[in-house]
């Protein structure tokens, strides 16, 4: 039962980053490349028509975590309290940037909310990457000091950063040089994904230019990927053990590699949907590879006093999981219907669809 919920939550989170990921990416592209009012408006539409339905998947993932792994939920939501509050504010400013932009036709008004949309999208991509970096790096569970656990074995609290800015200390912060690297990879990945989405859904005048941008960003992503594997071994020497002992898990890194290699041919790809699928494979492969490297751990402990949090020692009771399954199926069915209807209503290019007026 624990494995079922782990897979289900992993799928929902992955779907969220694929769907809302192109919204984040569209915001990043909007911030740096949209120069004319027509391009700004159409790129805003490419995110604005979809962001609210896409973020439902994040809400669903949070609810499923609460039902299935309450100890993990409590641990993470207290330990990562500061960055979660920052993420909440960024989500708010991204949403109001999209919703407020078209309310008045003053240039200054539009410029303010354009920056709100772009900067919050950029920082959200960065912070979600940093969050993944914290998960794969591990935390000081129990706040161990001098070999003694100060708090309960599942409790921790991280400052935004520490004085050393290092992941190798006994008391790391949320932001250090390792998590920043993972955060930058997330920004580059979602920028690529967002650019593919804009090409797929709009007739923006910068679409041809964006293919060149994707190619260049893909080179950066490939270099950062290799570099991150090296520093990950420094931070956690056992990070690749699961792939050695369970070779079938290599399917997930292969999915990632297919996406990266495929996008080197972005200028030769005829169908826009194929390019979008390749950036989707990068996101899917990256997230699933990270989860596979940790399994069955969901939050590593960096001390030797308290053990890792796993899907088995943080789950609800068998009865609780069975009840959660009933409500989970109902909720997921409603979510799926909502998603399908929304995609049908917004099929094809969205240039002439109304939004924000």
pLDDT, tens digit, 9 for 90 and up, residues 16-56: 999 999 999 999 999 999 888 888 888 988 888 888 888 88
**Contact call for residues 117 and 48 (beta carbons, < 8 A):** no
Q: Three-state SS for 270?
A: coil
Residue owning tokens 């975590």: 65
Burial class (CB in 10 A: 0-12, 13-18, 19+), 86: middle
65 in any annotated domain: yes
272 in any annotated domain: no
In terms of pLDDT, which residue wins out, 184 or 144? 184
What residues make up the domain containing 108? 2-206+297-345
223 in any annotated domain: no
216 in any annotated domain: no
Q: Is the pLDDT of residue 290 over 90?
A: yes
**Contact call for residues 201 and 349 (beta carbons, < 8 A):** yes
pLDDT, tens digit, 9 for 90 and up, residues 78-111: 889 889 999 999 999 998 888 888 788 888 888 8
What's residue 48's pLDDT? 81
Residue owning tokens 């609780």: 320
119 in any annotated domain: yes
Burial class (CB in 10 A: 0-12, 13-18, 19+), 316: buried
Please give the C-alpha separations between residue 134 and each of 179, 181, 234, in angstroms, as whole numbers: 6, 11, 14
What's residue 262's pLDDT? 95
Q: Three-state SS for 252?
A: helix
pLDDT, tens digit, 9 for 90 and up, residues 156-185: 888 888 888 988 888 889 999 999 999 999
Domain count, the chain: 1
190 in any annotated domain: yes
DSSP string, 131-152: HHHHHHH-B-TT-EETTEE-S-
Please give the C-alpha separations between residue 49 and each of 26, 53, 95, 186, 340, in angstroms, as whole numbers: 12, 9, 11, 23, 14
What's residue 356's pLDDT? 54
Q: Which two tokens stand for residue 79?
A: 């330990």
Which of these ranges, 64-68, 259-263, 351-355, has the smallest mean pLDDT?
351-355
List CB contacts of 145: < 8 A, sequence separation 6 or more. none
Q: Is the pLDDT of residue 251 over 60?
A: yes
Q: Is the pLDDT of residue 120 over 70?
A: yes
Tell me what the pLDDT averaged over the chain comes to: 89
pLDDT, tens digit, 9 for 90 and up, residues 122-132: 999 999 999 99
22 in any annotated domain: yes
Give percent of the chain above pLDDT 90: 48
| H helix or E strand, kind and range, residue 163 | none
Q: Is the pLDDT of residue 292 over 80?
A: yes
| H helix or E strand, kind and range, residue 206 | none
157 in any annotated domain: yes
Q: Is the pLDDT of residue 357 over 60?
A: no
DSSP string, 51-62: HHHHHHHHHHHH
């Amino acid at each position: 039962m624990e494995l079922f919920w782990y897979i289900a939550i992993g799928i929902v989170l992955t779907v969220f980053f694929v769907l809302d990921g192109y919204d984040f990416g569209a915001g990043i592209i909007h911030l740096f490349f949209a120069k004319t009012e027509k391009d700004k408006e159409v790129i805003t539409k490419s995110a604005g028509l979809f962001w609210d339905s896409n973020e439902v998947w994040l809400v669903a993932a949070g609810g499923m975590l609460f039902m299935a792994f309450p100890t993990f939920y409590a641990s993470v939501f207290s330990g990562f309290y500061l960055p979660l509050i920052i993420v909440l504010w960024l989500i708010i400013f991204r949403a109001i940037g999209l919703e407020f932009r078209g309310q008045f036709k003053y240039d200054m008004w539009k410029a303010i909310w354009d920056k709100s949309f772009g900067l919050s999208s950029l920082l959200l991509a960065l912070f979600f990457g940093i969050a993944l970096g914290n998960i794969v790096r591990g935390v000081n569970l129990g706040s161990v000091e001098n070999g003694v656990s100060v708090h309960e074995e599942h409790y921790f609290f991280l400052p935004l950063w520490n004085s050393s800015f290092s992941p190798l200390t006994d008391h790391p912060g949320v932001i250090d040089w390792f998590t920043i690297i993972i955060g930058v990879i997330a920004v580059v990945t979602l920028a690529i994904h967002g650019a593919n989405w804009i090409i797929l859904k709009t007739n923006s005048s910068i679409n041809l230019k964006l293919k060149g941008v994707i190619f260049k960003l893909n080179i950066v992503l490939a270099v950062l990927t290799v570099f991150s594997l090296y520093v990950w071994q420094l931070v956690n020497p056992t990070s690749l053990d699961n792939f050695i002992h369970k070779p079938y898990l290599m399917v997930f890194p292969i999915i990632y590699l297919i996406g990266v290699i495929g996008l080197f041919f972005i200028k030769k790809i005829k169908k826009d949907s194929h390019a979008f699928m390749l950036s989707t494979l990068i996101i899917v492969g990256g997230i699933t590879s990270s989860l596979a490297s940790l399994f069955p751990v969901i939050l590593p402990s960096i001390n030797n006093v308290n053990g890792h949090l796993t899907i088995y020692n943080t789950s609800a009771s068998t009865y609780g999981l069975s009840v959660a399954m009933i409500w989970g199926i109902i909720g997921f069915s409603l979510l799926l219907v909502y998603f399908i209807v929304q995609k049908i209503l917004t099929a094809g290019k969205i240039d002439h669809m109304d939004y924000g007026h």
